[in-house]
Chain A
Amino acid sequence: MSRIIQNIEPIGAILLAIVWISPLVFAFWAAFHSTSDAVNFNLTASWTLDNFRTAWDGAPWMRYFLNTFALVTIILIGQFVVTTLAGFAFAQVRFPGRDLMFILVLMQLFILPEVLIVENYAMVSRIGLFDTILGVGMPYMASAFGIFLMRQAFKGVPVELHEAARVEGCGWFGILWRVYVPLARPTYLAYALVSVSTHWNNFLWPLIVTNSPDTRPLTVGLSIFGAPENGVDISVISAATMMSVAPLLLAFLIFQRQFVQAFLRAGIK
């Protein structure tokens, strides 16, 4: 009995882990079995790839993958440029209005792009970016979180390096590019991971701004594919779901340590 009490924590931890992973495991299992076998939990049933074939033929997945890939890339490049410049300005340049601007940026942490969908939709349509990948990405480029992160990273750079580069005749841009950016590489990596996983998974805004298979990202494609009106059965939905989470999930499992570290770094600073 005392043995059990002693081990109650490891048992609890493992039970919780099993519960937590089970939805994924069940979907994985269902994706490789026929619907009736999956539903009846026929453990001896043979494995099949039919669901993947059906799912793959049911929607332009390749296109969706490319769209999502283009989307996260565009957002990431935009964010890097915008947050680097702004973060540097807030960290190392003295100019009138800096503190007020910083407060405005912090405010944006709470004005969620998700809440402003109606007006942002009007804005994106007005500037002719409706149903374009750029239109999906634009509202996220000036990320307050990113600016904050870069400011913190740049503030940690020793003044001596800045001075040394200046003495060597480096201009402002040169100092930023050759001193600050290389030193902030870990922060960039962390931010990139957080940004990519966030926007790979984003749904509501792309749903509103995209209107054709040529721009639709995976999440929106998946939701349309799985809509009950389409009458797709559960094994095929599981297969489609597995397919669309596979790249990010594999990347996570391979780079797990870096991934967690990245989240840690992004979270605490």
Chain B
Amino acid sequence: MSRFVQIERRRQAIYGWILLSPAVVLLSTFAFYPSLATFWSSIFSRQTRRRPSEFVGFENYSDLFADPTFWKVVTNNLIYAAATIPISIAIALAMALWANSKIPARGFIRTAYFTPTVLPMIAAANLWLFFYTPGLGVLDQIGGLFGLPSVNWLGQPSTALWAVIIVTIWKEAGFFMIFYLAALQTIPEDLKEASDIEGASRWTYTRRIVLPLLMPTTLFIMVNALINSVKLIDHLFILTKGGPNDASKLILYYIWEMAFAFFDAPHAAAMTILVLLVLGIVAGVKFTVLDKRTHYQ
């Protein structure tokens, strides 16, 4: 009997690893090895025709910390995250509550909210270009009706980043709405009935019952929004190219520029490692918070 169990166990182990092998090979090739290789290349100097690449320790990192552009880009990205995360979550929540309530034209409203999600970021940027173009754009035309002067939204440092932020919020709010909608549908009807019997207003019901029950969803969306604030940079290529004067440049765009426009792979690698560190911290927080959540259930 025990021999049979042992054979079965061994068989399962072999099957398990065979089934897993394609995923292991691909993940190693395109995630784990590149992560290590990135770290490795971040501690070597840049190879030029005259000088071979040599070990420099953390010099690339200290170069970055001494580089004002780097700090500018980090600040931009922090503003980008601090603006897009709460605003898109708040809008998504409002959208979901509305799209879930008995409201006229609900079908149209849902479609309108969700449509930006299925568009490529590049297309979204093209659409918004039509809004932002100075003189001709929709915003200037509307401003013109009220006698406001023409504004070069994308061309001046004080507004460029905000113009980019607005496009991101427009793009992702509808996506987050979906998660809230899903969560709203799991709230039992009895809670609404009970609060009606107790004479609670709709506002009280929303604030005291719905919002607390949506907390786990909010956490989940927050992590997604945080990842997006690193990842969503496609529209920069169309709208501002990080300019003017780096005013709207974000970290991932800077990494791309460093590696593929300035051909400075080591500094790009150092920056990548810093981003991975931050994402790692986020991952750690997420898993501990999620652990706490499952503890409650």
Residues of A within 8 A of B (CB): 9-10, 12-14, 16-18, 20-21, 23-24, 26-27, 30, 39, 41, 81-83, 85-86, 88-90, 93-98, 101, 104-123, 138-139, 141-142, 144, 147, 172, 197, 200-204, 207-208, 218-219, 222-223, 226, 234, 237-238, 240-241, 244-245, 248-249, 252-253, 256, 259-260, 263-264, 267-268
Q: How far is A97 from B276 in the complex, measured between Cα atoms in Å?
A: 25
Interface residue count on the B side (C-beta < 8 Å): 93
Contact with A along B170-198 (1 / 0, CB 8 A): 10011100110111000000000000000
Interface segment, B19-27, B55-63, B69-77, B81-89? Answer: B19-27
**Contact yes or no, B30 A81, CB < 8 A:** no
A12 with B98, Cβ < 8 A, contacts A115-B279, A116-B272 known: yes
A21 with B95, Cβ < 8 A, contacts A14-B109, A95-B15, A108-B31 known: no
The residue of chain B having its C-beta at the shortest distance from the C-beta of A20 within the complex is B112
A110 with B280, Cβ < 8 A, contacts A17-B112, A94-B12, A116-B30 known: yes
A27 with B255, Cβ < 8 A, contacts A13-B98, A21-B115, A112-B231 known: no
**Contact yes or no, A86 B19, CB < 8 A:** yes
Residues of B within 8 A of A110 (CB): 227, 279-280, 282-283
Residues of A within 8 A of B233 (CB): 204
**Contact yes or no, B275 A263, CB < 8 A:** no
Q: Is the interface of A mostly helix, strand, loop or mixed?
A: helix
Residues of A within 8 A of B22 (CB): 81-82, 85-86, 142
**Most B Cβ at <10 Å: residue of A114, A119, A226, A253:** A119
Is B136 part of the binding interface, using a Cβ–Cβ cutoff of 8 Å?
Answer: yes
Residues of B within 8 A of A237 (CB): 126, 129-130
In the assembled complex, how far is the CB of residue B44 from the closest CB belonging to chain A, in whole angstroms?
Answer: 13
Residues of B within 8 A of A244 (CB): 120, 123
Within 39-63 of B, Cβ neighbours of A (below 8 Å) are at: 41
Contact with A along B93-107 (1 / 0, CB 8 A): 011001101011100
Is B141 part of the binding interface, using a Cβ–Cβ cutoff of 8 Å?
Answer: yes
Residues of B within 8 A of A249 (CB): 115, 118-119
In the assembled complex, how far is the CB of residue A130 from the closest CB belonging to chain B, in whole angstroms?
Answer: 13
The residue of chain A having its C-beta at the shortest distance from the C-beta of B237 within the complex is A223
Task: Indicate which residue in B29, B108, B269 contacts A17 across the interface (CB closer than 8 Å).
Answer: B108
Residues of B within 8 A of A197 (CB): 117-118
**Contact yes or no, A20 B174, CB < 8 A:** yes
**Contact yes or no, A23 B35, CB < 8 A:** no
A241 with B123, Cβ < 8 A, contacts A20-B112, A20-B170, A93-B12 known: yes
In the assembled complex, how far is the CB of residue B89 from the closest CB belonging to chain A, in whole angstroms?
Answer: 14
> What 4 A-B pairs are tightest by C-beta distance, nearest first?
A95-B16, A142-B26, A119-B34, A201-B120
**Contact yes or no, B123 A222, CB < 8 A:** yes
Is B225 part of the binding interface, using a Cβ–Cβ cutoff of 8 Å?
Answer: no
